[in-house]
Amino acid sequence: MQYTVGSIAPIFLSPVIAFVINAFFGRKLPRNGDWLAVLSIFISFVFSARIFGDFFFGQFATDYYIHKTFTWFDLSAGTHVFKVDMGIYLDNMSSIMLLMVSGVAFLIHLFSTWYMDHDERHGRFFVFLPLFTSAMLGLVLSDNLFSLFLFWEIMGFCSYSLIGIYYEKEKAGDASLKAFMTTRVGDVFLLLGIVAIWMVVGSVNYVDIYAAIAQGKFDGPAVLGISFATFTALCIFAGAMGKSAQFPLHVWLPDAMMGPTPGSALIHAATMVTAGVWVSLRMYPLMVLGDITWFIAVIGAITAFGAATIAMVQTDIKAVLAYSTLSQLGYMMIGVGVGSYNAAFMHVITHAFFKACLFLSAGSIIHSVHEQEMPKLGGLKKYLPYTHFAMMCCTLAIAGIPFFSGFVSKDRILGDALYFGFMAGQNPLLAIVPILGFAGAGLTAFYMFRMMFLTFYGENRTHDSHGHGHGHKDDHGHHGHGHEIHHEHLDFRSNVPLLILAVFTLGFWFAGNVVGQNFGNVFGGKNEWFKILVEAPKVEKFVDRPKQAFSSVDTKGEIVLPHAHYHHQSGYAGPNPDEHKLHTAHVIGAWLSIFIAFSGVFIAFLMYIKKSVKPLAEKFPGITEMLKAKYNFDHFYIDILIKKGLLGLNRFLAWLDMGIYDRYVIDGMAAVNRVLFKASKWFDNVVIDAIGVDGTGVTVNLFNLVLRIVQSGKIQFYFIMLVMVLASYIWTLNI
- Give the interface segment with other proteins, choosing from 197-205, 358-366, 557-565, 721-729 (CB under 8 A): 721-729
Q: Does 670 bind other proteins (CB under 8 A)?
A: no
Q: Are strands 513-516 and 519-521 parallel, antiparallel or unpaired?
A: antiparallel
Q: Does 663 bind other proteins (CB under 8 A)?
A: yes
> Cβ distance 586 to 409 under 8 Å?
no
Q: Which is nearer to other proteins, 161 or 328 (CB)?
A: 161
Q: Does 719 bind other proteins (CB under 8 A)?
A: yes
Q: Does 665 bind other proteins (CB under 8 A)?
A: yes
Of the candidates 342, 355, 149, 346, the one whose C-alpha atom is nearest the C-alpha of residue 269 is 355
Q: Closest separation between CB of residue 716 and other proteins, Å?
A: 5
Residue from 473, 724, 725, 732 in contact with other proteins (CB under 8 A): 724
> Cβ distance 380 to 364 under 8 Å?
no
Q: Does 660 bind other proteins (CB under 8 A)?
A: yes
Which spans in 400-475 are helix H? 405-418, 432-456
Q: Does 726 bind other proteins (CB under 8 A)?
A: yes
Q: Does 78 bind other proteins (CB under 8 A)?
A: yes
Q: Does 712 bind other proteins (CB under 8 A)?
A: yes
Tell me the C-alpha distance between 178 and 199, whole Å: 32
Q: Which is nearer to other proteins, 669 or 715 (CB)?
A: 715
Q: For helices 170-201 and 698-710, what crossing angle results, to 10°?
A: 100
- Give the interface segment with other proteins, choosing from 54-62, 78-86, 414-422, 673-681 (CB under 8 A): 78-86
Write down how long the chain is: 735
> Cβ distance 343 to 445 under 8 Å?
no
Q: Does 672 bind other proteins (CB under 8 A)?
A: no
**How many residues at the interface with other proteins, by CB under 8 A?**
26
DSSP assignment, residue 713?
-
Tell me the C-alpha distance between 446 and 246, whole Å: 22
Residue from 222, 676, 688, 720 in contact with other proteins (CB under 8 A): 720
Single-letter amino acid code for the residue at 365: I
Q: Are strands 548-549 and 66-74 parallel, antiparallel or unpaired?
A: parallel
Is residue 404 exposed (0-12), middle (13-18) or buried (19+ Cβ within 10 Å)?
Answer: buried
Phi then psi for residue 105, to 5 deg, are -65, -35
Q: Does 716 bind other proteins (CB under 8 A)?
A: yes
- Give the interface segment with other proteins, choosing from 138-146, 345-353, 515-523, 719-727 (CB under 8 A): 719-727
Q: Closest separation between CB of residue 686 and other proteins, Å?
A: 21
Q: Which is nearer to other proteins, 77 or 224 (CB)?
A: 77
Which spans in 370-404 are helix H? 385-399
Q: Does 518 bind other proteins (CB under 8 A)?
A: no
Residue from 661, 671, 675, 708 in contact with other proteins (CB under 8 A): 661
Q: Which is nearer to other proteins, 78 or 524 (CB)?
A: 78
- Give the interface segment with other proteins, choosing from 323-331, 542-550, 657-665, 671-679 (CB under 8 A): 657-665
Q: Which is nearer to other proteins, 456 or 655 (CB)?
A: 655
Residue from 72, 723, 725, 732 in contact with other proteins (CB under 8 A): 723
Is residue 468 exposed (0-12), middle (13-18) or buried (19+ Cβ within 10 Å)?
Answer: exposed
Tell me the C-alpha distance between 533 and 564, whole Å: 9
Residue from 216, 467, 524, 713 in contact with other proteins (CB under 8 A): 713
> Cβ distance 282 to 237 under 8 Å?
no
Which spans in 76-169 are helix H? 92-115, 122-141, 145-163
Phi then psi for residue 480, to 5 deg, are -80, 95
Q: Which is nearer to other proteins, 27 or 663 (CB)?
A: 663
HEC letters along 531-565 = HHHCCCCCHHHHCCCCCEECCCCEEHHHHCCCCCC
> Cβ distance 469 to 349 under 8 Å?
no
Residue from 77, 224, 666, 669 in contact with other proteins (CB under 8 A): 77
Single-letter amino acid code for the residue at 605: F
Tell me the C-alpha distance between 631 and 628, whole Å: 8
- Give the interface segment with other proteins, choosing from 129-137, 398-406, 421-429, 712-720 (CB under 8 A): 712-720
Q: Closest separation between CB of residue 401 and other proteins, Å?
A: 48
Q: Which is nearer to other proteins, 484 or 662 (CB)?
A: 662
Residue from 79, 427, 555, 612 in contact with other proteins (CB under 8 A): 79
Q: Closest separation between CB of residue 730 and other proteins, Å?
A: 5
Q: Does 224 bind other proteins (CB under 8 A)?
A: no
Q: Closest separation between CB of residue 73 and other proteins, Å?
A: 9
Q: Closest separation between CB of residue 266 and other proteins, Å?
A: 28
Name residues contacting other proteins, limited to 232-291 (CB under 8 A). none
Which spans in 556-658 are helix H? 579-605, 616-619, 621-628, 633-635, 647-655
Tell me the C-alpha distance between 287 and 276, whole Å: 14
Q: Does 610 bind other proteins (CB under 8 A)?
A: no
Q: Does 730 bind other proteins (CB under 8 A)?
A: yes
Tell me the C-alpha distance between 512 and 533, whole Å: 12
Q: Which is nearer to other proteins, 489 or 663 (CB)?
A: 663
Q: Closest separation between CB of residue 671 and other proteins, Å?
A: 11
- Give the interface segment with other proteins, choosing from 71-79, 267-275, 494-502, 519-527 (CB under 8 A): 71-79
- Give contact residues for other proteins (rule: CB under 8 A): 75, 77-80, 658, 660-663, 665, 711-716, 719-720, 723-724, 726-727, 730-731, 735
